[in-house]
Every structure is written in structure tokens, then in C-alpha cells.
């Protein structure tokens, strides 16, 4: 009964959305505190030298706006590319040097998971053009061989997602993953999503029963009985930006979302969110 209801709900679920051409990237750097700090310094935007004193203010203002947009990460710092000439020439030069046609955009820098004393981890989240900066990434790994680099990227326009890892300056792992799973794992704010999902259960006084813990099957049955299963599926579809088809959405719902939601319901203390690095 539940399987037929889920299938019926998915057939009438939210349509897929159109995407702008861009690539979403997550780069995690792990190593000694000094090595991580050195990496952070090495990839920060660097103001170009200007020989003409008369044009220095103008160049400084242009760089200031560019630096503000790039924030804490610029590919130009570690692997310079030719920036002169026609726009198409700049794009070609960047593609050859970095593997993408733009510098890092919409950059966020967050603390990674807690590490042993003397160790550190940080995470950059950023966008590029329609491809990831793989050539820049190879150069960064070789330049900082003592660090472990974990890289995840997704291209919404083609619904492709990959995960990679570098150790001692070399690529040791590269695997393709489900785009919907990638979005759920890296772009969904779980506490907010789970709070909305919990509200759909219409629990008495908003509280769980102390006598019996809810299972994944119980949650699905309660949503179905209350007529809220379609809304729950719509929430999930929206959270992965409307991409997943009905079969993958159903798999994601059953294999990951429900088990994680049940664990969250019964968790004594919620896991803290990563902090933005000042």
C-alpha cells in the first residue's frame, strides 16, 4: 500500500527545474594547522603590481571590487593565467590554466570537522563556470603535498556529480555519485528540512511518544494517513532543486532521508553546524 502511494505521489511530484550553467564546488583541506594556514594565505587574492602611477587608483579600485567578489579564494594567486586581450582569449587562457573559465565565485570558508590537537580542517564552498577547476586543483595538491584535499563538484546542467581525494600531492580517488544524493549531502540544511518534515507528522503537542520510538515505516505511514505524504515528497524534490526523477527520488527518500530523519528525531542533542571562518 505504501509503495503504491509513494509511486503515485512521485508521479505527480514537482517538475524538474531549469538550471543556469555553473559548477558547484566544495574543497576540504586537512592537515597540520601551520600547513592549512599556509594554504589559506597562498590562495587569497593578490593585488597586481601596476607600473603606471597615474592609473594606480583606478587599478586599485578595480582590484578591490574583484577581490571582494572572490573573497577568500582566487585561482590566480597559485596558478596565474593571462588576463589581457579579448574576453574570449581570457576564457581560453583560464580554461587552459585552471580547467574552468572563471575564477572562484560566491566563496564561503567554513571550519571543518574537529581534529586532533595540532591538526586543522577547513572547507571552501564556491562556484565556477560550467566546469570544475581540475587543473588548478592538481597544481594546488602538488604545491601542498602534506595536505589532504577532498574535492566534490556537481554540474546541475548535466546532472553530474563527482568526488575526488588527493594525498601526498596525487589523485588517489575519483568516483561519480548520484546528483540528487550529492545535493542532499552537500546543499540541504538538514535541521531546517527535518523541522518542516516533523511538522507534517502532526504529533500530539509536537512531542514524540516516550513509550515507543518511531521507525521509518511509522513515519511514512503517518504521513500517508494524514494526507501529508505529497507535501513531504515536494519538500524533498525542492531540496534537491527539482532534479531527481521519481525512481531516484524514491530511492533517496527511502535509503537516506527517512533513516536520517528518524535518527534526528530521537537524537538527544543536534550536531552543531560548521562555523564561518572570520
Q: What percent of the chain has pLDDT over 70?
A: 76
- According to the model, what pLDDT value does residue 19 have? 47
| Residue 91: closest CA among 135, 129, 63, 49 | 129
Residue of higher predicted confidence among 115 and 236: 236
- According to the model, what pLDDT value does residue 82 have? 63
Q: What is the pLDDT of residues 105-120, one digit of tens each?
A: 999 999 888 778 889 9
Q: What is the pLDDT of residues 143-184, one digit of tens each?
A: 999 999 999 999 988 889 999 999 999 999 999 998 888 999
> What is the C-alpha separation between 198 and 257, in angstroms, rounded?
12
Cα Rg, the chain, nearest whole Å = 23
- According to the model, what pLDDT value does residue 245 have? 73
Residue of higher predicted confidence among 93 and 5: 93
> What is the C-alpha separation between 190 and 104, in angstroms, rounded?
26
Would you report the helix, strand and coil content of the chain in percent, each value rounded to 5? 45, 20, 35
Instruction: Give the three-class secondary structure for 110.
Output: strand
Instruction: Give the three-class secondary structure for 208.
Output: coil
Element (H, E) at 173: strand 170-177
User: How many CB atoms neighbour CB 124 within 10 A?
Assistant: 22
Give me the architecture of the 23-155 domain, per CATH.
2-Layer Sandwich (3.30)
Q: Does the structure show a pLDDT above 90 at 91?
A: no
Q: Sheet of 170-177: strands edge to edge?
A: 105-111, 119-128, 23-32, 148-155, 160-167, 170-177
What are the start and end residues of each CATH 3.30.70 domain in the chain?
Answer: 23-155
Amino acid at each position: 500500500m505504501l509503495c503504491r502511494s509513494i509511486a503515485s505521489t512521485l508521479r505527480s511530484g514537482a517538475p524538474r527545474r531549469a538550471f543556469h550553467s555553473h559548477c558547484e564546488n566544495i574543497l576540504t583541506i586537512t592537515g597540520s594547522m601551520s600547513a592549512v594556514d599556509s594554504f589559506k594565505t597562498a590562495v587569497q587574492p593578490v593585488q597586481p603590481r601596476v607600473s603606471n602611477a597615474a592609473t594606480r587608483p583606478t587599478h586599485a579600485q578595480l582590484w578591490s571590487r574583484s577581490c571582494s567578489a572572490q573573497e577568500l579564494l582566487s585561482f590566480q594567486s597559485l596558478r596565474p593565467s593571462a588576463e589581457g586581450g579579448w574576453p574570449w582569449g581570457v576564457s581560453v587562457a583560464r580554461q587552459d590554466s585552471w580547467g574552468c573559465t572563471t575564477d572562484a565565485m560566491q566563496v564561503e570558508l567554513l571550519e571543518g570537522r574537529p581534529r586532533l590537537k595540532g591538526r586543522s580542517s577547513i572547507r571552501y564552498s564556491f562556484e565556477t563556470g560550467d566546469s570544475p577547476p581540475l587543473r588548478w586543483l592538481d597544481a594546488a595538491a602538488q604545491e601542498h603535498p602534506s595536505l589532504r584535499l577532498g574535492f566534490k563538484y556537481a554540474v546541475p546542467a548535466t546532472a553530474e556529480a563527482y568526488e575526488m581525494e588527493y594525498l601526498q600531492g596525487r589523485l588517489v580517488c575519483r568516483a561519480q555519485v548520484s546528483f540528487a544524493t550529492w545535493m542532499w549531502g552537500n546543499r540541504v540544511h538538514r535541521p531546517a528540512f527535518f523541522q518542516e518534515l516533523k511538522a507534517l507528522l502532526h504529533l500530539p503537542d509536537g512531542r514524540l511518544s516516550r513509550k515507543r520510538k518511531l521507525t521509518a515505516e511509522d513515519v511514512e505511514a503517518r504521513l500517508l494517513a494524514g494526507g501529508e505524504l505529497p507535501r513531504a515528497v515536494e519538500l524533498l524534490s525542492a531540496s534537491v532543486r527539482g532534479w531527481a526523477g521519481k525512481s531516484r527520488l524514491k530511492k533517496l527518500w527511502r535509503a537516506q532521508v527517512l533513516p536520517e530523519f528518524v535518527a534526528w528525531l530521537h537524537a538527544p542533542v543536534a550536531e552543531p553546524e560548521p562555523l564561518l571562518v572570520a
